[in-house]
C-alpha cells in the first residue's frame, strides 16, 4: 500500500482530535451501514495519521476494541488493533492496553459493588 500524500496526512493529523469522538459514537450506531462506513473511515484515518495516532491513542484503542467486538463481519474486518500497532512501539502499545484493561476492571468492579448495596 502506498503512503498517502503529505497534504492528506497533515490534514488528518490536524483534525484527528475532532474526528475521534464522532467516530467513537458512530462505530456503535444501530444501523449496520453506518458502522461499516465508520470502520472504513477509521481504518483510512489510522493509515493517514501514521505515528501521530499516539496523541489520541486511548480513545482510539477503546474504539478499536469496541469495533472488534461488533456482530457485523465487515466492521470487524475493517478495523484491527494490529493496524495501529504497526505505527508505534510495542512497549507503548502494551502499556496503553494494560491501562485500558485496568480502567475497565475498575469500572466493572464499581458497577458490581453498587449492585450489591
Q: What is the band of 88 on the pLDDT scale with cuts at 50, 70, 90?
A: low
Query: Please, are residues 65 and 81 in contact by the beta-carbon 8 Å criterion?
Result: yes
- pLDDT value at 12 more than 60: yes
Residue 106 lies in a domain: no
What pLDDT score does 10 carry?
94
23/102: higher pLDDT: 23
The CATH number that applies at residue 26 is 1.25.10
pTM of the predicted structure, to 2 decimals = 0.72
**How many Cβ atoms from other residues are within 10 Å of residue 60's Cβ?**
23
Residue 102 lies in a domain: no
What pLDDT score does 77 carry?
85
- pLDDT value at 31 more than 90: yes
C-alpha cell at position 104: 475497565
Distance CA 64, CA 4 (A): 22
Residue 44 lies in a domain: yes
Number of domains in the chain: 1
Q: What is the band of 114 on the pLDDT scale with cuts at 50, 70, 90?
A: low
Residue 38 lies in a domain: yes
56/83: higher pLDDT: 56
Q: How far is CA 111 from CA 33, 104, 108, 116, 117, in A?
A: 32, 11, 5, 9, 10
Give me the domain span that covers residue 29: 6-87
Residue 42 lies in a domain: yes
Mean per-residue pLDDT over the chain, rounded: 81
What pLDDT score does 68 carry?
83
Residue 96 lies in a domain: no
Q: How far is CA 12 from CA 19, 40, 54, 97, in A?
A: 9, 15, 14, 24
Amino acid at each position: 500500500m502506498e503512503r498517502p500524500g503529505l497534504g492528506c496526512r497533515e490534514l488528518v493529523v490536524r483534525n484527528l482530535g475532532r474526528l475521534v469522538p464522532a467516530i467513537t459514537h458512530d462505530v456503535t450506531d444501530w444501523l449496520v451501514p453506518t458502522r461499516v462506513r465508520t470502520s472504513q473511515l477509521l481504518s483510512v484515518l489510522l493509515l493517514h495519521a501514521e505515528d501521530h495516532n499516539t496523541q489520541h491513542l486511548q480513545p482510539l484503542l477503546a474504539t478499536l476494541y469496541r469495533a472488534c467486538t461488533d456482530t457485523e463481519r465487515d466492521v470487524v474486518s475493517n478495523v484491527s488493533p494490529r493496524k495501529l500497532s504497526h505505527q508505534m512501539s510495542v512497549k507503548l502499545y502494551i502499556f496503553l492496553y494494560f491501562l485500558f484493561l485496568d480502567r475497565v476492571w475498575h469500572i466493572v468492579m464499581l458497577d458490581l459493588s453498587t449492585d450489591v448495596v
